[in-house]
A = this chain, B = another copy of it.
Amino acid sequence: MRNTLVVLGCLVIGATAGAFQFANAQMASDTVSVARYAPDGRLIRPDGWRTWIYVGTPLTPNELNNGKAAFPEFHSVYIEPRAYAIYKRTGTFPDGTMLIKELVSVGSKEAASGKGYFMGEFIGFEVAIKDSKRYPKAPGGWAYYSFGHHKPPYAKLAKAQKHEACSACHQANAAEDFVFTQYYPVLRAARPKK
């Protein structure tokens, strides 16, 4: 399937500069550079993340957290495909890795399948980027951005959050390089076997 999609792309697009850019990035040092920034340094909201690689969905509903969960929504977490490809090969997140956290409301608590949690509407969009060169002072090289906690359209630009807003919790509790892979079976399964 993937091959067929890829081949279709060939017919439509042909070879462009992008290919050489990617090939160079891979050969150079296992980095990817998908992020784009405005002249003032703010991150430009990436496009197309709903076709990226889904890794998992943590959920901490209000009623299990005294009615006021810090994160009462579903979190749909994605990794950018080129970073995923490198992670599959190396088992580490390369510089340039971009992770997406799209917030989705709890839409329903009962369905034909039983009582539980069913996704409602998109209500927020956040990005984490690892880039030790661009963020030399960020713990682990990870910077965190919020494009708004509301329905789309999300903001087009975002400033990096202060490091202390996100990093400390990721550093203390994430299983692997500031990423909660303990809750992301897709990433654990993708790692190269030792």
What 3 A-B pairs are tightest by C-beta distance, nearest first?
Answer: A6-B9, A54-B54, A60-B116
Instruction: Determine whether the beta carbon of B4 is less than 8 Å from that of A10.
Output: no
B21 & A71 in contact (Cβ 8 Å cutoff)? no
A165 cross-chain contacts in B, Cβ below 8 A = none
- The answer to whether the Cβ of A81 comes within 8 Å of any Cβ in the partner chain is yes
Q: Given A82-B1, A117-B58, are A183 and B76 also a contact pair (CB < 8 Å)?
A: no
Identify which of A2, A51, A80 gathers the most chain B CB atoms within 10 Å of its CB.
A51
Main DSSP-derived SS at the A contact region: mixed
B111 pairs with A183, CB closer than 8 A: yes
**Count class of interface residues, chain A:** 35 or more
Contacts of A28 in B (CB 8 A): none
Which of chain B's residues has its CB closest to A1's CB?
Answer: B34
Given A59-B117, A112-B172 in contact, is the A48-B80 Cβ separation under 8 Å? no
